[in-house]
Amino acid sequence: MRMIDIIQKKKNGETLSTKEINFMIEGYTKGEIPDYQMSAFSMAVYFKGMNKQEIADLTMAMVNSGEKIDLSAIKGIKVDKHSTGGVGDKISLIVVPLVASVGIPVAKLSGRGLGHTGGTIDKLESIEGFNIEMGTKEFIDNVNKYKMAIAGQTANLTPADKKLYALRDVTSTVDSIPLIASSIMSKKIASGADAIVLDVKVGSGAFMKNLDEARELAKTMVEIGKSLNKRTVAVISNMNQPLGYEVGNANEVKEAIKVLSGEGAEDETVVALTIASYMTVLGGAFEDFNIAYKELEKIIKSGKAIDKLKELIRIQGGNPDVISNTDMLPKAKYHIEVKALKNGYVEAINAEQIGIIAMLLGAGRKTKKDKIDYSAGVTIVKKVGDEVKLNDTICILHTNKESYNEAKKLALEAFKISKNKPEKIEYIYDVFQ
């Protein structure tokens, strides 16, 4: 078998066999197939697509390229969630304790942020002492005992995806539905969950900029999950403005505490409750989505959900007092208020740009080696639909850097202020299951 023939076949829009896909991914993982051939292949897929069987085969070939985590020692249906990436996306911080508080085991492997999107692990590490490094045994023991654990990925999961994703990033082939779907699903399957809830973001801060593409991606991932006997639900949520009011690390932890205490922003609360509801239904705690949603709202009101986050912080080495005293979280030196230049209504907030601003202020990494300033970030003061008057504060930049003028300029540009009040935006567009 030769890689050039596989590229040629895909270029002509033909279907690849399981054997051909396995040959390609094995060869690429071992370094026998070079990046330039894999780039040509990715571009051929971008233009010609893949059928369901090919996508399932590609997913499994990437799962089999590395280690797989065996969670069979955890009792019950293990439910995982994954977001396709957003700005101000602190949903994992909220749903892990929330779902665990009804007894459904959540074994969450999370990543760090890169570029304009944040990562759950960085956010949690803004809590002093919070430890995300643990061996498989401790991870499994914690899930059995407390129904939850959040750890960074240490095992050599899906090395083929790691290599291919880095290559796609520099060859303009990220936004291909078969490639995104197989990339995400391979990681979820290798990390051992029985059921998966996918949060597919659509809008200015997401990979998928329009709803039709997001629907296609959601449908494709649900089909892959089902074909591999994993119960899978995909929720399509709005990323046309940052989620909630906070973008950064420590400030996002503060906001997650608010949501779990019943005082969260409306969009953040609705998306978190929706994801958590599907997780608990897949885990077998509730019969249907509507019952789950109502019960989880009650759990938040009762204080049980915030107590569970407190427990998570305690068992993973942080000081649980941070829940009642968020002043213990890192604080920035400068807080720069950005003011509106005219009267009107916020029509849109460019979420990707806000993510870039947060990164420039110190909250994110340009390269993997950069260090994060946990106290840096952006507070959105006016959300889409809010009325603004000339000189009203629309957002606040938090940083320890003195050179914040560029960020301030970009922040002004990120807000589109129009004369007419926009229609109320939807937080959840669709659900595939």
Binding site for ligand URA (CB under 6 A): 84-85, 165, 174, 179-180, 183-184, 207
Contact 160, 66 (CB under 8 A): yes
Angle between helices 177-190 and 35-48 (to 10 degrees): 110
Shortest distance (Å) from residue 56 CB to ligand URA: 16
101/117 with CB nearer ligand URA: 117
Shortest distance (Å) from residue 179 CB to ligand URA: 6
Contact 358, 222 (CB under 8 A): no
230/398 with CB nearer ligand URA: 230
Shortest distance (Å) from residue 61 CB to ligand URA: 15
Shortest distance (Å) from residue 372 CB to ligand URA: 20
Shortest distance (Å) from residue 175 CB to ligand URA: 8
Joined together, the tokens standing for residue 409 give: 């300029």
97/203 with CB nearer ligand URA: 203
Q: Is 161 assigned a catalytic role?
A: yes
The closest alpha carbon to 362, from 154, 113, 140, belongs to 113
Q: Is 183 assigned a catalytic role?
A: yes
207/404 with CB nearer ligand URA: 207
Shortest distance (Å) from residue 191 CB to ligand URA: 12
Alpha helices per DSSP H over 78-176 = 91-100, 120-125, 136-146, 159-169
d(CA 397, CA 61): 44
- Phi, psi (deg, nearest 5) at residue 137: -65, -45
Catalytic residue among 161, 194, 199, 373: 161
The closest alpha carbon to 117, from 190, 176, 199, belongs to 199
165/429 with CB nearer ligand URA: 165
Paired strand residues for 151: 109
CA dihedral 186, 192, 195, 196 (to 10 degrees): -40
102/356 with CB nearer ligand URA: 356
Encode 6-63 in three state secondary structure: HHHHHHCCCCCCHHHHHHHHHHHHHCCCCHHHHHHHHHHHHHHCCCHHHHHHHHHHHH
d(CA 61, CA 186): 8
Q: Which helix (H) or strand (E) holds 396?
A: strand 393-399
Catalytic residue among 10, 81, 82, 231: 82
d(CA 18, CA 1): 13
Cα angle: 247, vertex 180, 364; to 5 degrees: 25
Shortest distance (Å) from residue 280 CB to ligand URA: 24
CA–CA distance from 328 to each of 129, 250, 324 (Å)?
A: 12, 10, 9
183/274 with CB nearer ligand URA: 183
Nearest to ligand URA by Cβ — which residue?
183
Q: Is 382 assigned a catalytic role?
A: no
Catalytic residues: 82, 161, 168, 183, 187
